[in-house]
Structure 1
Amino acid sequence: MSTNPGQDKFGNWLQPTAPGLFGLSLGALTVCGIGTVLVLLALVREAYALALITLLATFLIVLTTLIPFAGSTLFTKVSDRISLAGRNRRGESFYVTGPFSTLPLEAAQRLPGALLNVDTLSGVDGLNRDYTLLHHKAVGKIAAVFGCTPDGAAMQEQSVINNQVAHFGSWISSLSIDTGLAGATIVVDSASESSAGTCAAVRADVAPNAPAFAKRVLNEAVGTLPARSSVLNVYATMIWDAKALGATAKDLSPAVAEIAARLPQQSQMLTRAGAGAPKPLIEAELAEIAHLAYQPARDQELALDALTGLRAARAWDQSGPEFFDDSRGRVVFHDGVASMTLMMTIPPESQITARSFDQLFGPNPKFLRKRVAILYRPVDPGTAARTVNRLVSTADWKISTRRGRATSFDTKNKAVAEQTELELAQGARLALFSLMVTITFEANQDAYRDALNQIKSLMGQLLMPYRFVEHAGSAAFHTTLPFGVLPWTYTTTPLWLRAVL
């Protein structure tokens, strides 16, 4: 009889919301209430035309700006289209590097979008490891990128996997108490790459004095390998607020020193969480990640260059694409290939296990490259307590205002909210998360159709509501890179107001 435990199940996520009624949010109810009062006042004064205009205006405001359809409101859809048209008209949606670039000479080959104004800061941490930090000057953030080497779960005991998942949960919990931490991302970058590098490496390891027969057998065996092999790279990125760590506009050294002191501890926590032997990445490695994201077909060339010692270290400020076209909407074009990005709107509606995302994370022959990015937003203990209190109140409100009996979903949501409140009281931490997926494919209609059908199939298996990014493809593409782009650092809308709306 096996003593190996079963797979732990996870789920019961809650989305921060404010109490509503009849399917309307608190913001929509507020606008309806104000509109109703104004209509009644107009009727009292016998201003029937004004009452009708006010009623129509209230209806249109609620319908277009406060009721989401497929993840976004009608106003957002229209404003996004207008914004895209404006960027196309101004030439902002087409990015060119090199001699034809319109950028200043010193920035002629830099990465586009939010990564254009990012510099590198290099040094050595407490374990004598070289590192390179990414300074996002526009938002005052500094990111450290770890390259991880997780062991595959297929050959591990379930007890080991469960233990790693528990430690991963501890790592997420620690984000909320890490001073100055603005967020973290886990990026799983997978590809079906050329096996030329592997074949060349095997042949290069043959001893010169090996028997001719052995060399011939090995050469024939290598020749039977598939033309492409699957690779999977995992990156963990921590992003800190430079000002919160003591940095000033003219001196970043206090923040850099503090982050360098924290890198060993982060490595240890990630190791316990199943990340293998994570190490901070340096500038050349970060530049190569960007290079392959734009030109995935160059994997074979880079692999052979590495084996022959011809690889030239690429600088960060020279790792941009030759061109990046964001003028079409959903699909962006870069260096001869195309990409599109989708984003989770609601967490998986069913419970998941440690193996539920295997198909989504793993390489797929329908894509040249695929990046799955999970973004974590830590919530401080005080804000977490208030957020959970609102969740409990919202659950009670929905049950008390529902006509007829409460449904099983209402009862479940209330139980989950109360359980979350209990766990917070016992010392647990709260973190918000989201998921984005970028897929890269050949720039033709057949490849687009195959990639679209495949990613829809993968997402459908997770029962996870999602939507494609239709009008900000460049921003979405670069958010899924492991370079520390956090969407919420570029918005001024507070978290509580988003919940209300």
Structure 2
Amino acid sequence: MTAAPEPIRTPTYGNWRRPRKAGLGSLGLVGTVGLFGGLVLVLIASMASLNAAVVLGIPIALALAPLAIRTQDGRNVYRTVGVRVGWLRRRSKRQHLYVSGPLSMRPGGRFRPPGLLSQVTMLEGRDSYDRPFGVLYHRNRHQYTVVLSCEPDGGSLVDPDQVDTWVALWGEWLSRLAHEPGLRGASVIVETAPDPGTRLATEVLGRLSPDAPPAARAVMEEVVYEYPDASSEMNTYLTLTYSAPGGGRRDDDTVLTDLALRLQGVLNGLVAAGGGLAEPLSAERVAEVVRVAYDPAVAAEVLDVRARHGHTGLEWDDAGPAAAVETVRSYQHDSGVSRTWLLTMAPRGTVRAGILRSLLDPAAGIRRKRVALIYRPIDPATSARIVEADRRSAQFMANSTKGLVRARAIAEIEAAEQTAAEEASGAGLVEFSMVVTLTVDSSAEVRDADVTMRNLLGASRVAMRPADRMQAAAFTCALPVGILPWEQTMIPHELQEAL
């Protein structure tokens, strides 16, 4: 008698959670402190007269009410109004417009990248294998960014056990980021675009034998001209942003030497996690990536020049657009118009390894698409404090509720206990977010990009919202240049968490 074959079990993942914030309800820590402080003041004023208590209590209530009203993604009224006020302020100062080049009023007459990249300069060092690698120096933050290029192994025809191993090793690589000295954040950017066919034509046509049969030549030429219509290029980049030791007092050569010694360890971890061939990008290659992002029409020309001469000679100071205009819903730059979305909620429930496949695959009608996963490593001491506080909060909610709500609270306890157990066994905590940018040819196609994005999000079960009134900054965060969003805010990250 033949035994029935065992069903194939696909590994599932998940259990990411938002740590519960201290405070009453949606007020947050600052709002709760303000509430109790206001109640004390009102009680003291009521001892004098009831009118004094009312006069004092109404402004306090009006000041605290916006902290309690929140959108679906957790933003309070103050943050929403702050975005609108910031946009109106930039428009009044005409900061939403950018013009560069010899005919502009910018010093030097070059095409420097705008916005958050205006204070970034390029350095270049050599690693232990004598390969050049570019380093972006953020002068206003005293931070250095290294850009790596990867060729990940595809997931097609791969056993589930191998995929599970890759996911585990990728999680281990992320947990090691918390122990990397001076590391402020990391990001993974997957960029897809229609293949212009330049690389294939350069490889094939240059090797055709003049004595080849006409039929064979016709077949090869047809492949060269027809293949790009159904193909696409996919590039994967990884950035690591370090803070300068000693608050930026060290010289550039010392920092470049320090980064060169760290690169090989980082690359080895990527290869084990399925990252495939990984290598640092030179300063010229980084400038090319940014140049093509701002002007997608030159992608074929850049590939052609590099294939013919081995280099393009492009410098960082010429990687920006000639003109750019930021609007409420989009960001227009040279030959492209981009619209960017921000993550509001990760997929809930059961998650498999291919949950983001539809979001990462090329999309029809989109000139270029970038999906950026941004990671903020948390040090071990803070991780232990976060999981313990989350565990106590889950237990308190379960003990203070009944019925169906209590069942959900019990599920929260199980998830919190699992997180605490994994952290105690050596796993690390990492805050993550995602930024997605779709670039089309004209403003008339932005509406089609919205439809495409809704379809992609429906398949991936990810909740995102458009980065309206901050499209230029969000566009920059999706580039492989090491811009960390939490480092660019006027309000410190810790205070924002308390709000």
Secondary structure of the equivalent of 2:79? helix
Partner of 2:189: 187
Q: CA deviation at 1:335?
A: 0.5
Partner of 2:352: 353
Q: Secondary structure at the match of 1:483?
A: coil
Which residue, 76, 79, 92 being the options, matches 2:79? 76
Decide which moves more: 141-150 or 195-204: 195-204
Structure 1 counterpart of 2:335, which letter?
G
Residues 159-170 of structure 1 aligned to structure 2 (within 5 Å): 159-170=161-172
Report the 3-state secondary structure (helix = DSSP H, G, I; strand = E; otherwise coil) of the residue aligned with 1:488.
helix
1:318 maps to what in 2?
A: 318
- Does the CA contact (< 8 Å) of 2:26 and 2:68 recur in 1? no
Q: Distance in 2 between matches of 1:399 and 1:499?
A: 24
Aligned pairs, number: 495
Tell me, what secondary structure is at the counterpart of 1:152? coil
CA contact (8 A) 2:297 2:335 kept: no
Structure-2 change in CA distance of 1:102 and 1:153 (3 Å): same
Contact 2:26 2:69 in 1 (8 A): no
Distance 1:464 1:61 in 2: 33
Report the counterpart of residue 14 of structure 1 in structure 2. 17
Does structure 1 retain, via aligned residues, the 8 Å contact 2:296–2:335? no
- Structure 2 residue 144 is matched with structure 1 residue 146: no
Q: Measure the CA separation in 1 of the matches of 2:262 and 2:108.
A: 36
Q: Give me the whole-angstrom Cα distance separating, in 2, the residues matched to 1:302 and 1:3.
A: 52
| Equivalent position of 1:377 in the other structure | 376
- The AA in structure 1 aligned to 2:386 is T
Distance in 2 of aligned mates of 1:36 and 1:248? 46
Identity within the alignment, %: 30
Q: 2-side partners of 1:63 and 1:361: how far apart?
A: 40
The aligned counterpart of 2:486 is: 488
What secondary structure sits across from 2:437 in the alignment?
strand
Equivalent pair of 1:21/1:398 in contact (CA under 8 Å): no
How is 1:208-357 mapped onto 2 (pairs within 5 angstroms)?
A: 208-225=210-227, 227=229, 229-243=231-245, 248-249=248-249, 251-309=251-309, 312-326=312-326, 328-357=327-356
User: In the aligned structure 2, how far is the partner of 1:23 from the partner of 1:374?
Assistant: 27
CA distance in 2: counterparts of 1:101 and 1:412, whole angstroms: 60
Displacement of 1:435 in angstroms is 0.9
Q: Which ranges in structure 1 are unaligned for 5 or more consecutive residues? A: none
Deviation at 1:148, TM superposition (A): 0.3
Give distance in 1, aligned partners of 2:385 and 2:356.
31
Assess, with a 3 A threshold, how the Cα gap between structure 1 residues 3 and 369 changes in structure 2: closer, same or farther. Answer: farther
* TM-score for both structures, normalised by structure 1: 0.92
**1:464, 1:257 → 2: CA distance?**
40
Q: Which amino acid aligns with 1:155?
A: L
Report the CA distance shift for 1:146/1:196 in structure 2 as closer, same or farther (over 3 A). closer
Quote how far apart the aligned CAs of 1:286 are: 0.6
- Indicate how the Cα distance of structure 1 residues 254 and 269 shifts in structure 2: closer, same or farther if over 3 A, else same: same
Between the aligned partners of 2:314 and 2:373, the Cα distance in structure 1 is 27
Which residue does 2:120 correspond to in 1? Answer: 118
Task: Give the match for residue 364 of structure 2.
Answer: 365
- Closer/same/farther in 2, CA of residues 188 and 4 from structure 1, 3 Å limit: farther
- C-alpha separation between the residues in 2 aligned to 1:231 and 1:197? 10
Q: 1:51 aligns with which of 46, 53, 56?
A: 53
Kindly provide the CA deviation profile for residues 391-443 of structure 1, in whole angstroms up to 9, marking residues without a partner as x.
11221232233365643332122211122112222212111111111111122
> 1: CA distance between counterparts of 2:5 and 2:156?
17
Q: CA deviation at 1:348?
A: 1.9
**CA pair 52-364 structure 1, distance change in 2 beyond 3 A:** same
Task: Give, in angstroms, the shift of residue 52 of structure 1.
Answer: 3.4
Q: Per the alignment, in what secondary structure is the counterpart of residue 178 of structure 2? A: helix
Tell me if the contact between 2:121 and 2:139 (Cα under 8 Å) persists in the aligned partners. Answer: yes
Separation (CA, whole Å) in 2 of partners of 1:405 and 1:213: 72
**AA at the equivalent of 2:90:** R
Q: Is the 8 A contact 2:339 2:446 kept in 1?
A: no
Counterpart of 2:465, as a letter, is R
Would the aligned equivalents of 2:193 and 2:368 in 1 still touch at CA under 8 Å? yes
SS in 2 for 1:194: coil
Cα distance, 1:220–1:333 mapped onto 2, change above 3 Å: closer
**Cα distance 1:52–1:463, how it changes in 2: closer, same or farther (>3 A)?**
farther
Partner residue, 2:65: 63
The offset of 1:185, in angstroms, is 0.7
- Distance across 2 between alignment mates of 1:53 and 1:409: 42
Give the Cα separation in 1 of the matches to 2:425 and 2:227.
54
Distance change (3 Å), C-alpha of 1:310 and 1:378: closer
Question: RMSD of the alignment, in Å?
Answer: 2.4
Partner SS state of residue 239, structure 1 = strand
**One-letter amino acid of the counterpart of residue 467, structure 2:** V
Match of 2:448 in 1: 450
Query: Structure 1 130/243 Cα, relative in aligned 2: closer, same or farther at 3 Å?
Result: same
**In structure 1, how many angstroms separate the alpha carbons of the residues matched to 2:387 and 2:59?**
35
Deviations 1:235-267 (A, max 9, x none): 1111111125xx743613332211100111111
CA contact (8 A) 2:26 2:70 kept: no
- Tell whether 2:36 aligns with 1:38: no
Alpha-carbon distance in structure 2 between the residues aligned to 1:430 and 1:310:
42
Deviates more, 1:231-240 or 1:110-119: 110-119
| TM-superposed deviation, 1:311 | 5.9
Corresponding residue of 2:92: 89
Aligned-residue offset at 1:115: 1.3
Q: 1:215 to 1:463 in 2, by over 3 A?
A: closer
* Equivalent runs, 1:431-470 vs 2, <5 Å: 431-445=430-444, 447-470=445-468
TM-aligned CA deviation for residue 460 of structure 1? 2.8
Q: Distance in 2 between matches of 1:130 and 1:301?
A: 23
TM-score, length of structure 2 as denominator length: 0.92
Structure 1 residues 201 and 346: alpha-carbon distance in aligned structure 2, compared to 1, 3 A threshold: same
How many angstroms apart in 1 are the aligned matches of 2:14 and 2:497?
20
Match of 2:351, SS state, is coil
Judge conservation of contact 1:367–1:451 (CA < 8 Å) in 2.
yes
Tell me, in whole angstroms, the C-alpha distance in 2 between the residues paired with 1:175 and 1:380: 9
Q: What residue in structure 2 maps to residue 131 of structure 1? A: 133
Go from structure 1 to structure 2 and tell me whether the alpha carbon gap of 1:55 and 1:97 turns closer, same or farther (over 3 Å shift).
Answer: same
